Each structure stands twice: as C-alpha cells, then as structure tokens.
C-alpha cells in the first residue's frame, strides 16, 4: 500500500493546483431529476431488505458481493411461488469499496451478479492503476483536460464494469435504490448520489456517469484526488422552487433543538441552493471517500428509513408510492431486515509497538484511517438504537413490525471455533486495496456464508418466511432474534383505542 501511496503522491504533485475538471452537467431547461426507482411490496408479510456495505477496497466489494450472492441463493415459497431474498432488497447504501459492488448490482441486477468476480475481483486493479499513473502520456493527457488521478479510477471502473453507463441506467422502476455516499471535503457532510441532492446543485442526475459516483465514494484521501462537481444551484435553476420542507425546517422555532440532524440537513440543502442569507457560499464541491463521514453507509440508510420527506420508493399493497416510514406506519411493511456488511479489519498497527515516532507516511495513514474506523463504530451504535426503537414501536400488537438486524462483521467470528478463527485470521491479512487474490475472495465468500448462517436474525428471517432447517435452528432464531410478536400483547392504557401499524394494515383491508 505504501508504495502505491508514494507513486501516486509523486504523480499527484505534478498535477497539483490544476484547474479542476467538473464532472457534472447542469439540468436542461424544463428538466427535473425524478426518482423513478420503485420497490413493490405485494404483501405486508413480504420482507423488505435494506443493505449497507462498508468501505474497505476490494475486500469490501468482495464481501458485499458474497452477501448478495448468498441472498440470491436463498429462496422461500409463498402461495406456490418461489421468491429469492435478493429480490426483496429495496435499498443498498454504500461507501468506498462497497460502492463498487453496489453500483454493479444496481446496474446489472441479481442475475448479473455472477460476472462481478471475473470483471472486477480477478484483475490486478492496483497494477493497472500503477501502470497508468507512471505513464508520462497519462500525465499530459490528464493535465491537458484538467483531470487528476481520480480519473484513472473512473476509467478503470468504466473499462472493467460500468461501460460508461450513467445513473439513468440505475434510476429505473423495479431497481433497488442504490445510494452511493461520499464526503463533501469542505463541510464534512455526507454527499449522497441521489436525484434530490442533484436537484440541490441543479445538476443532471441521470446524465452523471456511474463511475463518477463510485469513485467519489472511494476517493481515499491523499491516495486519490477528490471528484469535483460544480454547483449550478441558485434562483435561476430549472429544477423548480425550493422544496417546502427545507424552508419549513429552517423557519421552525424548535427543530434545531430537538433534531439537529434535520436542521443541518435542511441548512446544507439551503446553502447548496443558494437560498437568501445562506450560511455558506458553495460554488464547487470536492468529494472524498464516504468513509470519512460514515464508513458503514448507514447514515443514508437511516435517513431512508425514518425521514418523513425521503424518497418515495415503496409501492404497497394499498396502492400509491410511499416512503418507507409511511409504509411502516400504515402496515404496508411488517418485516424489515437491515443487513450491515462491515468489511473493516483490525490489522496490527505498528505505531503502538514502536519506540520511534511515526514518519510522514505513518501519520498520513493514521489521520486518514482513524476517522474512518471511528465513524464505523459510531454508525453501528446508531443502527442498533434505531432498530430497537422501530421494533418497540408497535408494542401491544401481536402482528407488529418485525425487525431483523443482520450483521456481517468479522468481529463476530468466534475465537473458540476453529473454522471461524481461521477465517478471522485470514481476513485480517487482506489489505485495503483494489487488488485481491482468488484465495482471498474465497475466504470472503466463506466468511459471508458463515456469518449469515450464524446470524440469529438471518435465521429468524428464514424461519418467518417458512424456511426452517431444523428445530434446533428454529429455537436458535427465536431465542437470538426475539420479536414483539413472540410475547403476549399488553395494550398501553394511554393510547385508548390506538392500533399499532401492522394491525392498521389489517383493518384498512
């Protein structure tokens, strides 16, 4: 890794201070960014699966791929019809290396997943990047076009897996909502590649190359340069007036005190749109690795779950397109599974066992890695709490919302189990890089299989879908992933006639 850093730093110094090549185009007159992705939930008991895939280079891409493959192989039967769990995925939120597979899945769907191994995981991508980076013709070409070394990653992605496709190819009905997350270098805000965010900067979402979104999400600081976007937002933007929720939140008296996150979100959108009295002037955006703000990709996932004005992507059994929050509240969704794929490893850190001060490379490594590791643990805590609160919501209703928190995390390997210990040791040796060996991919495939099979909530999801391997596994699932439906209902006196969301679905029908 250090040799790549040195090579790319040397290369980068030659392009330092160049005028940026902005990688977005303004919205055409009369054109707006539409969210066209719709996930159909035909029956309330159909699981809705949300997936977050962390950063971690090809290790994260391979682990995410292995998890998706496992969901593809796992099927259940409803009314004589065989369903695959992968078809129940409504949202994939990703960061950095995880965005490589998320973008590929969004583009090619479940049936195209098999090609990912051959197209991206087998080639020596770092070698290809290195060869291009050391080629003087590349320097001249990039400098003359105002590009920088992030362009090399975009070209590699387009050459190997995305074929120059734009977000228009992902933004289609029946496709999952794939949210690629990067970090706004100036503000530290999460910048998600979504139509609504592109409305804020008055740029054309559908025309944006997929490789730009993925490389922004994976632009590891210093090693790669940020992706540059121009902010076309302002009063003369064609995308229409400021969404009412933005000004409403900013004008409200108490939002900033009871929901600072919502206030900050509105303020960022307002500033991007250059509203009157905006607190920041944002003419250009420089986007770095999404892991700096949220290395699990859970922030965007939680926004999708609990935002009242988020993307309306669910087509429920009662008709109409609704947000996930509304679908939960009216009982269109009664089974919500959140799969968090965390490819973070804890390789031995030489800093803590050396008597000498770290050098410049060591300091660069720490100042970029430590915030990412820190955001990873915070993100998981927040998911835990949100899911616990969601699970508590329909208390008193036996048919209430079932929540399945499924973690695929190397920390969950049991040291006492020889197989898992061996896998744990093997994954720790897989560096964060865009090159990975076939053996390492095999280790990650086995890890995904073991971690999913070990997950009580994954087993509970299967049990509730009528897929039971054995009585022992059924007991394991019920004990390890309890649901409110398992307990007798005690209706709270204060709600006086209130009915919980899942019951609402029944009464509405």
Partner 1 sequence: MPGKRAIKKKRSDTEEPSVSIEYLLVKYSDQRAVLADGDKVGITNHTMILPANEYSITLEGAGYAPASQDVVLAGTSVMRPMVLVFQ
Q: Residue 299: CB partners within 8 Å, gap ≥ 6?
A: 93, 181, 190, 293, 379, 382
Q: Could you give phi then psi for residue 438, rounded to 5 degrees?
A: -60, -40
Stretch that binds partner 1, among 41-49, 53-61, 145-153, 259-267 (CB under 8 A): 259-267
Q: Could you give phi then psi for residue 378, rounded to 5 degrees?
A: -65, -40
10 binds partner 1 (CB under 8 A): no
Stretch that binds partner 1, among 81-89, 130-138, 170-178, 390-398 (CB under 8 A): 390-398
Burial class (CB in 10 A: 0-12, 13-18, 19+), 308: exposed
* Rounded Cα gap, residues 375 and 271, in angstroms: 25
* Rounded Cα gap, residues 142 and 154, in angstroms: 12
Token pair 């190997």 in the structure block, residue: 160
**Chain mean position to CA 508:** 34
* Rounded Cα gap, residues 431 and 85, in angstroms: 30
506 binds partner 1 (CB under 8 A): no
382 binds partner 1 (CB under 8 A): yes
**Which has the closest alpha carbon to 269: 202, 214, 218, 324?**
202
Q: Residue 389 or 486: which CB sits closer to partner 1? A: 389
507 binds partner 1 (CB under 8 A): yes
Strands 177-184 and 190-192: antiparallel
In whole angstroms, the minimum distance from the beta carbon of 112 to partner 1 comes to: 32
Q: Residue 399: CB partners within 8 Å, gap ≥ 6?
A: 334, 485, 502, 503, 506
Q: What is the total residue count of the chain? A: 509
Q: Residue 126 or 502: which CB sits closer to partner 1? A: 502
Query: How far, in Å, are 216, 241, 420 from residue 244 at the CA level?
Result: 29, 8, 52
Please identify which residue in 129, 249, 336, 427 interacts with partner 1, judged by CB under 8 A: 249
368 binds partner 1 (CB under 8 A): no
340 binds partner 1 (CB under 8 A): no
- The pair of three-digit structure tokens given for residue 379, joined into one six-digit string: 């993100």
Binding to partner 1, residues 300-319 (CB under 8 A): 302, 306-309
Q: Residue 36 or 491: which CB sits closer to partner 1? A: 491
247 binds partner 1 (CB under 8 A): no
Stretch that binds partner 1, among 221-229, 269-277, 388-396, 416-424 (CB under 8 A): 388-396
Q: Residue 326 or 366: which CB sits closer to partner 1? A: 326
Q: Residue 140 or 308: which CB sits closer to partner 1? A: 308
260 binds partner 1 (CB under 8 A): yes
Stretch that binds partner 1, among 121-129, 148-156, 375-383, 420-428 (CB under 8 A): 375-383
Stretch that binds partner 1, among 23-31, 146-154, 475-483, 495-503 (CB under 8 A): 495-503
244 binds partner 1 (CB under 8 A): yes
Query: How far, in Å, are 103, 174, 314, 320 from residue 177 at the CA level?
Result: 10, 9, 10, 17
Strand order in the sheet with 314-315: 39-40, 314-315, 321-322
HSE-CB at 66 with a 13 A cutoff on CA atoms is 26
E strand segments, 290-419: 314-315, 321-322, 335-342, 402-409
Query: How far, in Å, are 59, 65, 129 from residue 423 at the CA level?
Result: 13, 17, 29
In whole angstroms, the minimum distance from the beta carbon of 47 to partner 1 comes to: 19
Q: Residue 403 or 427: which CB sits closer to partner 1? A: 403
Please identify which residue in 293, 403, 448, 457 interacts with partner 1, judged by CB under 8 A: 293
3 binds partner 1 (CB under 8 A): no
In whole angstroms, the minimum distance from the beta carbon of 359 to partner 1 comes to: 29
Q: Residue 187 or 349: which CB sits closer to partner 1? A: 187
* Rounded Cα gap, residues 211 and 99, in angstroms: 10
171 binds partner 1 (CB under 8 A): no
Stretch that binds partner 1, among 141-149, 362-370, 391-399, 405-413 (CB under 8 A): 391-399
87 binds partner 1 (CB under 8 A): no
Packing angle of the helix pair 150-157, 210-217 (nearest 10 deg): 130
374 binds partner 1 (CB under 8 A): no
137 binds partner 1 (CB under 8 A): no
Please identify which residue in 15, 222, 393, 467 interacts with partner 1, judged by CB under 8 A: 393
In 191-316, alpha helices (H): 195-200, 210-217, 244-251, 255-258, 260-272, 291-294, 298-306
38 binds partner 1 (CB under 8 A): no
* Rounded Cα gap, residues 68 and 46, in angstroms: 18
503 binds partner 1 (CB under 8 A): yes
In whole angstroms, the minimum distance from the beta carbon of 222 to partner 1 comes to: 20
Token pair 């005190």 in the structure block, residue: 257
Binding to partner 1, residues 418-477 (CB under 8 A): none
322 binds partner 1 (CB under 8 A): yes
- In the chain, what is the straight-line distance between the N-terminal and C-terminal CA atoms, in Å? 58
Stretch that binds partner 1, among 30-38, 84-92, 121-129, 240-248 (CB under 8 A): 240-248
Q: Residue 195 or 209: which CB sits closer to partner 1? A: 195
Contact residues for partner 1 (CB under 8 A)? Answer: 183, 187-190, 244-245, 248-249, 252-255, 258-262, 264, 293-294, 299, 302, 306-309, 322-323, 325-326, 328-331, 378, 381-382, 385-386, 389-390, 392-395, 492, 494-501, 503-504, 507-508
């Amino acid at each position: 890794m250090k040799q790549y850093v040195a090579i790319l730093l040397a290369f980068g110094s030659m392009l330092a201070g160049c005028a940026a090549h902005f990688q977005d185009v303004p919205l055409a007159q009369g054109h707006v960014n539409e969210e066209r992705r719709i996930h159909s939930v035909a029956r309330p008991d159909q699981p809705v699966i949300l997936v977050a895939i962390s950063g971690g280079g090809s290790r994260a891409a391979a682990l995410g791929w292995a998890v998706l493959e496992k969901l593809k192989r796992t099927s259940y039967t409803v009314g004589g019809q065989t369903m695959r769990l992968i078809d129940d995925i409504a949202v994939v939120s990703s960061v950095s290396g995880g965005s490589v597979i998320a973008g590929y899945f969004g583009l090619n769907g479940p049936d195209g997943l098999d090609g990912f191994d051959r197209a991206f995981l087998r080639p020596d991508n770092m070698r290809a990047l290195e060869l291009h980076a050391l080629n003087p013709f590349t320097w001249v070409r990039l400098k003359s076009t105002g590009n920088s070394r992030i362009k090399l990653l975009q070209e590699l992605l387009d050459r190997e897996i995305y074929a120059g496709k734009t977000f228009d190819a992902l933004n289609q009905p029946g496709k999952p909502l794939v949210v690629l997350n990067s970090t706004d270098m100036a503000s530290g805000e999460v910048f998600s590649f979504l139509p609504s965010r592109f409305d804020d900067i008055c740029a054309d979402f559908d025309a944006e190359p997929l490789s730009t979104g993925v490389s922004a999400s994976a632009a590891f600081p210093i090693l790669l340069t940020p992706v540059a976007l121009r902010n076309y937002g302002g009063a003369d933007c064609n995308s229409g007036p400021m969404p009412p929720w933005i000004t409403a939140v900013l004008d409200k008296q108490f939002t900033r005190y009871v929901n600072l996150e919502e206030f900050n979100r509105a303020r960022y959108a307002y500033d991007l749109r250059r509203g009157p009295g905006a607190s920041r002037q944002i003419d250009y955006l420089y986007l770095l690795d999404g892991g700096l703000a949220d290395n699990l990709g859970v922030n965007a996932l939680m926004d999708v779950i609990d935002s009242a004005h988020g993307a309306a992507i669910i087509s429920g059994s009662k008709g109409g397109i609704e947000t996930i929050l509304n679908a939960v509240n009216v009982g269109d969704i009664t089974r919500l599974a959140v799969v968090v794929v965390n490819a973070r490893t804890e390789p031995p850190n030489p800093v803590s066992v050396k008597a000498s001060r770290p050098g410049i490379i060591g300091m660069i490594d720490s100042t970029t890695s430590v915030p990412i590791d820190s955001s990873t643990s915070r993100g998981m805590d927040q998911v835990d709490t949100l899911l616990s609160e969601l699970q508590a919501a329909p208390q008193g209703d036996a048919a209430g919302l079932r929540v399945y928190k499924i973690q695929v995390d190397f920390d969950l390997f049991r040291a006492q189990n020889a197989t898992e210990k061996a896998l744990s040791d093997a994954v720790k040796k897989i560096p964060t890089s865009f090159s990975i060996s076939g053996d390492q991919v095999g280790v990650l495939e086995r890890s995904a299989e073991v971690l999913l099979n070990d997950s009580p909530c994954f087993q509970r999801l299967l049990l509730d879908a009528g897929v039971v391997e054995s009585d022992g596994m059924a007991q394991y699932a019920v004990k390890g992933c309890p649901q409110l439906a398992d307990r007798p209902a005690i209706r709270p006196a204060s709600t006086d006639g209130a009915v919980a969301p899942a019951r609402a679905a029944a009464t509405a029908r």
